[in-house]
Amino acid sequence: MAGYAPGPGGRNLDVTILVTGGAGFIGANFIHDWIAATGETAVNLDALTYAGNLESLEALAGDPRHVFVRGDIGDRALVERLLGEHRPRAIVHFAAESHVDRSIHGPGTFVQTNVNGTFELLEAARGYWSPLPGPDRARFRFLHVSTDEVYGTLRPGEPAFTEEHRHLPNSPYAASKAASDHLVRAWHHTYGLPVVTTNCSNNYGPYQFPEKLIPLMIVNGLAGKPLPVYGDGMQVRDWLYVRDHCSAIREVLERGRIGETYNVGGWNEKPNIEIVHTICSLLDELRPDPAGSHARLVTHVADRPGHDRRYAIDARKLERELGWRPAETFESGIRKTVRWYLDNADWVRNVQTGSYRAWLDQNYGHREHA
Ligand code: NAD
Ligand code: TYD
């Protein structure tokens, strides 16, 4: 924005943002989207856990608008140094442990990163923001990326989650994200930190690690391996194409009301089994298998403990206040996604490392066929 007085470092606050978790699925898509849409610099702080992958950002190699820093959001001294050096106008906070099944096997890292890590980040942000000069202080935002899973589960026919729905988390992952939402809310109410929170539904699209439903089904289908559907497969999720999520975050960052929460959804409620069959049909069309339809690989396995039956997001507040609606239908988004996995076999091969295979053994090895 023009008209800002330069900060003490001599640079305006308005040309840089700090993104946490930008080497993960949504964060990497967001960095590509952000630089293409705004031309601004994104400083990307990511610990490169199993879910972080710099190959997802390869197209930005050598571009000075992407500054990668390997580190933990819980390392307050590091975050303080980055904020002081780069003087961002916003923090967009994606970094998290994000996989429900992993949170069932090992909840400790979820509490560590999602709760303690968010606390440390909020404190560093507060220390940076409080002494900023007036216009920079007014301009700064802390955008917290959260999930619809904090709201718990819905029965068939119940209205979709609005922003007023109580937090009723059921998995260790959901509970840790709910805790982080509460911290963010409290840092606004108590200290005045200018926060906005987004709670989005299930994302899908390029660069998603193949431990989540859609990429797992694509890569297993291509390899002729079983497609493990938990329980009866009638659990319902609301699917959001990742680039639509990115555009929603840009809108909320620029025009969202401070202290508010915005739900982001794709208006695409579908049972898992339907998603799996759609992927099978697309694979049959785009990469036919001489052994027969990919649907022959569908295998019902033991259900996830405490499995939430249905999530549905009511995203009308975002539409009413900021005019945002998703651009993709599920049909257009899933076709793009399957094509992306077909066209990026190297990316897929490189993430299927030894630790990925160990995870498949841990999560699927003990599941009897249902
Ligand atoms: P992801 O697991 O693909 O990526 C998370 C990234 O955070 C990785 O790059 C990882 O290395 C990094 N990270 C983890 N711990 C860190 C730490 N302590 N310090 C710094 N970096 C760390 O996750 P995603 O699917 O991209 O999700 C991003 C955010 O969106 C998360 O906060 C998640 O809760 C939320 N969300 C995701 C979905 C979805 O469908 N994927 C839906 C709703 C909300
Ligand atoms: P997932 O992609 O893990 O996202 P979330 O649990 O955050 O919604 O799972 C989406 C749905 O797919 C969920 O209902 C669990 C189900 N699922 C399977 O049926 N089989 C699988 O192998 C996986 C990973 C998920």
pLDDT in tens, 31-45: 999 999 999 999 999
- Section 318-326 average pLDDT: 98
Q: Which helix (H) or strand (E) holds 12?
A: none
Q: Is 101 a catalytic residue?
A: no
Tokens 């989650």 locate to: 161
Tokens 């001294």 locate to: 77
Nearest CA to ligand 2 atom 14: 235
Ligand 1 binding pocket mutation candidate from 98, 208, 238 (most atoms within 8 A of CB): 98
- For residue 49 and ligand 1, the question of a CB distance below 6 A is answered with yes
Question: What is the 213 CA–ligand 2 centroid distance (Å)?
Answer: 5
Determine the atom of ligand 2 nearest the C-alpha atom of 100: 6
Q: Pseudo-torsion of CA 92, 152, 327, 94, nearest 10°?
A: 20
- Section 11-18 average pLDDT: 74
**Range in 148-157, 216-225, 281-290, 347-356 with the lowest mean pLDDT:** 347-356
Task: Band the pLDDT of 370: cuts 50, 70, 90.
Answer: low
Contact 247, 264 (CB under 8 A): no
Total Cβ atoms within 10 A of residue 355: 9
Nearest CA to ligand 2 atom 11: 213
Tell me the C-alpha distance between 271 and 237, whole Å: 6
Quick one: tokens of 109? 């890292």
pLDDT in tens, 162-191: 999 999 999 999 999 999 999 999 999 999
CATH number, span 13-204+240-265+311-328: 3.40.50.720
Nearest CA to ligand 2 atom 5: 100
Tell me the C-alpha distance between 190 and 192, whole Å: 6
Total Cβ atoms within 10 A of residue 160: 21
Its sign, for the CA torsion 40, 77, 50, 346, is positive
Q: What is the pLDDT of residue 369?
A: 64
- DSSP-based three-state secondary structure for 100: helix
